[in-house]
Amino acid sequence: MRKFWNWVRDEATEDRTLYLNGEISDETWWGDEVTPKIFKDELMAGSGNVTVWINSPGGDVFAAAQIYNMLMDYVGNVTVKIDGLAASAASVIAMAGGDVYMSPVSMLMIHNPSTIAIGDSEEMLRAKALLDEVKESIINAYELKSGLSRTKISHLMDAETWMNANKAIELGFADKIMFTEDEERSPLDTGQGLIFSRAAVCNSLLGKIPKKQKSKIGTPIESLDKRLSLISH
φ, ψ of residue 87 in degrees (nearest 5): -115, 150
Residue 16 confidence (pLDDT) above 80:
yes
pLDDT given for residue 190 in this prediction: 47
Mean pLDDT throughout 201-207? Answer: 54
- Per-residue pLDDT tens digits for 162-193: 999 999 999 999 999 999 866 554 455 544 55
110 vs 208, higher pLDDT: 110
Domain residues for 11?
A: 5-232
pLDDT given for residue 98 in this prediction: 97
Q: How many helices (H) and strands (E) does the chain have?
A: 8, 9
Mean pLDDT of all residues belonging to the chain: 85
195 vs 215, higher pLDDT: 195
**CB atoms near residue 203 (< 10 Å):** 11
Counting the structural domains of the chain, the total is 1
φ, ψ of residue 90 in degrees (nearest 5): -65, -30
- Per-residue pLDDT tens digits for 114-151: 988 899 999 999 999 999 999 999 999 999 999 999 99
Give CA–CA dist 12/152, Å, rounded: 44
φ, ψ of residue 49 in degrees (nearest 5): -70, 155
- What CATH code is carried by the domain that includes residue 222? 3.90.226.10
Q: Are 156 and 110 in contact (CB under 8 A)?
A: yes
Which string of b and e fits 14-27 if b means at least 16 CB within 10 Å? ebbbbbbeebbbee
Q: Which helix (H) or strand (E) holds 57?
A: none
Mean pLDDT throughout 51-78? Answer: 95
Classify 100 as helix, strand or coil.
Answer: strand
pLDDT given for residue 11 in this prediction: 84
Instruction: Provide the pairing of β-strand 107-110 with 161-164.
Output: antiparallel
Classify 155 as helix, strand or coil.
Answer: helix
